[in-house]
Amino acid sequence: QQQVKQSPQSLIVQKGGISIINCAYENTAFDYFPWYQQFPGKGPALLIAIRPDVSEKKEGRFTISFNKSAKQFSLHIMDSQPGDSATYFCAASMAESNTGKLIFGQGTTLQVKP
Amino acid sequence: DAGVIQSPRHEVTEMGQEVTLRCKPISGHDYLFWYRQTMMRGLELLIYFNNNVPIDDSGMPEDRFSAKMPNASFSTLKIQPSEPRDSAVYFCASSLASLAGETDTQYFGPGTRLTVL
């Protein structure tokens, strides 16, 4: 019940295309859903995050869509660029518990071809 | 701020040897997390501390692994004895707790790539 399931494991997209990564969770107590981006040789870094009181959050070319009833959320990267090639992790936490602990998905390796 | 600092960046050792990984969190942060990343298992939380106190070590794989945080600016992850299956990238991350109901960003270090031969 603590798991966050992420798909696909890998994704290849042409430059200018839309990249979509999906995550699903079981624990309805989760109330904070961040996405982290990791470039080769670097640690993950926060990209964008959403709380379940909204269904969508957009920052530049990156959008999180959240479906509370389905317990799913997804990352959309519009106009994908080669510089977006990285590994993306979704995560979830129970902010009310204030433990700071994140449950990460397995990660998706995105390759954007020029 | 320099961000989370980890050392060494690369470590190659032989099976059976003791390995110590080091982490300096961002100044003022009160949470510190140790993660392990492998292709097979992804990003796994090993242990985390709040105000230097271990809160959850359920992710520590075996008794061969131990972690300490003697003060707010330093933590170690020790593996003794090391085994080839411990080969992975180990990340340290820190965050600052805010009000209850908020989760703050975890800031990751660059990682230590451990190879056990």
Q: Which residues in chain B touch residue A104, judged by CB atoms under 8 angstroms apart?
A: 42-43, 45
Distance from CA of B10 to the nearest CA of A (A): 11
CB of A19 within 8 A of CB of A110? Answer: yes
CA–CA separation, A17 vs A112, rounded Å? Answer: 9
Q: Which residues in chain A touch residue B48, judged by CB atoms under 8 angstroms apart?
A: 100-101
Distances (CA, A) of B56 to A25, A39, A49, A98, B49: 21, 28, 24, 13, 7
Distance from CA of A33 to the nearest CA of B (A): 10
CB of A33 within 8 A of CB of A50? Answer: yes
Q: Residue A93: is its pLDDT beyond 60?
A: yes
Better-predicted residue by pLDDT, B44 or B103: B44
Residues in a beta bridge with B38: B42
Distance from CA of A16 to the nearest CA of B (A): 28
Q: Residue B100: is its pLDDT beyond 70?
A: no
Interface subset of B 32-91, CB within 8 angstroms of A: 33, 42-43, 45, 48, 50, 55-56, 91
CA–CA separation, B28 vs B51, rounded Å? Answer: 10
Q: Residue B97: is its pLDDT beyond 80?
A: no
Q: Residue B77: is its pLDDT beyond 70?
A: yes
Q: Encoding tokens for residue A67?
A: 């479906």
Mutate to test the interface with A, among B106, B108, B112 (most CBs of A within 10 A): B106
Structure confidence by residue, pLDDT tens digits, B56-69: 999 998 899 999 99
Q: Which of B48, B100, B109 sits opposite A98 (nearest CB)?
A: B100
Q: Residue B102: is its pLDDT beyond 70?
A: no
Q: Which residues in chain B touch residue A93, judged by CB atoms under 8 angstroms apart?
A: 103
CA–CA separation, B52 vs A83, rounded Å? Answer: 38
Q: CB–CB of A44 and B43 under 8 A?
A: yes
Distance from CA of B91 to the nearest CA of A (A): 7
CB of B103 within 8 A of CB of B83? Answer: no
